[in-house]
């Protein structure tokens, strides 16, 4: 059963995808994933493994929905700025085909945590494959070319979301950054509450716990502005060791502005 937080995030995602300039395919794909009981179950178990077994941050249904929302926002800002996706530039698909791939990739990118942390992005690929295929058969009935293309792009989004593999599409690059932007203190709430003796990796929890808000909006010089507000400079670890690395590895880097605000001081620009 979806939590109130999940329901609220779903409403925001579906609201953005209800844009009348779109055909409705991305919206249909998102609805099918949200209503898929297997997806919900594997997202929840992935979170159990991440938090209870590994004492790591949230990698469950709220996180994956947050990444889907981030990715949808960023894709919309690129479209607004006239930036073409890879599928558009290569003349093999539309903006909405690209958006559908990003949405599917976001909702499924961390389900491999249900197996374990190591290579979880690759575990996510083989668990997600049949789910994506079944979903796209309904979204693109009879169109094997579009189904194959969007499926492949969604799998690139999933396999590349850690930033440790070279990705080549703008779409996968957006998901990579969208994932890095989910760093607020809510994501570390449960791990912090059950923390025991100090151990290697705790800096991730403590730094995330100082992040108050991540705002995604239209930039002044580039299409996408990311603004991170934090209560303490310990949150800079998340920026410098996680988010900046993901942005640097992303084909979307040239479209990003990144600002940090520590305790209501003047914003510091990183990119």
- Domain parsing of the chain, residue ranges: 4-269
Low-confidence ranges of the chain (pLDDT < 50): 192, 194, 200
Where residue 91 falls (left for φ over 0; alpha for ψ -120 to 50; beta otherwise) is left
Instruction: Summarize pLDDT for 123-173 with one digit per residue, the tens.
Output: 999 999 999 999 999 999 999 999 999 999 999 999 999 999 999 999 999
Q: What are phi and psi of 15, to 5 degrees?
A: -65, -45
Q: Which two tokens stand for residue 5?
A: 């937080």
Fold (topology level) of 4-269: Catalytic domain of cyclic nucleotide phosphodiesterase 4b2b (1.10.1300)
pLDDT of residue 188: 53
Starting at the earlier edge strand, list the strands of the sheet with 224-230. 211-218, 224-230, 256-262, 268-269
**Spatial separation of the C-alpha atoms in residues 237 and 115, rounded to whole Å:** 27
pLDDT of residue 209: 86
pLDDT of residue 253: 98
Concatenated DSSP letters for 51-80? IIIT-----SHHHHHHHHHHHHHHHHHHHH
pLDDT of residue 137: 98
**Spatial separation of the C-alpha atoms in residues 55 and 77, rounded to whole Å:** 35
pLDDT of residue 192: 46
- Alpha helix positions (H), the chain: 4-17, 25-34, 37-48, 61-80, 86-89, 95-108, 120-139, 144-159, 170-180, 189-193, 202-208, 236-237, 244-248
Q: What is the pTM of this model?
A: 0.93
Query: Which 3 state secondary structure label does DSSP give 94?
Result: coil
């Amino acid at each position: 059963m979806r939590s109130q937080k999940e329901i609220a995030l779903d409403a925001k995602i579906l609201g953005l995808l209800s844009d009348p300039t779109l055909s409705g395919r991305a919206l249909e794909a998102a609805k099918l994933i949200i209503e898929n009981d297997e997806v919900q179950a594997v997202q929840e178990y992935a979170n159990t493994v991440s938090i209870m077994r590994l004492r790591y941050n949230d990698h469950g249904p709220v996180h994956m929905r947050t990444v889907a929302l981030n990715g949808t926002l960023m894709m919309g800002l690129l479209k607004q700025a006239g930036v073409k996706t890879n599928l558009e530039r290569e003349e093999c698909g539309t903006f909405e085909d690209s958006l559908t791939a990003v949405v599917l990739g976001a909702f499924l990118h961390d389900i491999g945590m249900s197996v374990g942390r190591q290579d979880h992005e690759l575990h996510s690929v083989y668990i997600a494959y049949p789910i994506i295929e079944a979903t796209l058969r309904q979204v693109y009935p009879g169109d094997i070319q579009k189904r194959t293309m969007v499926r492949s792009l969604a799998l690139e989004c999933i396999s590349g979301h850690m930033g440790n593999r070279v990705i080549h599409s703008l779409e996968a690059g957006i998901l990579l950054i969208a994932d890095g932007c989910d760093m607020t203190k809510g994501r570390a709430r449960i791990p912090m509450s059950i923390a025991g003796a100090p151990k290697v990796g705790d800096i991730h929890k403590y730094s995330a716990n100082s992040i108050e808000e991540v705002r995604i909006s239209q930039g002044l010089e580039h299409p996408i502005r990311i603004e991170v507000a934090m209560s303490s400079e310990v949150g800079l670890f998340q920026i410098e060791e996680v988010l900046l690395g993901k942005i640097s590895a992303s084909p979307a880097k040239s479209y990003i502005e990144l600002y940090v605000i520590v305790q209501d001081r003047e914003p510091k620009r990183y990119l």
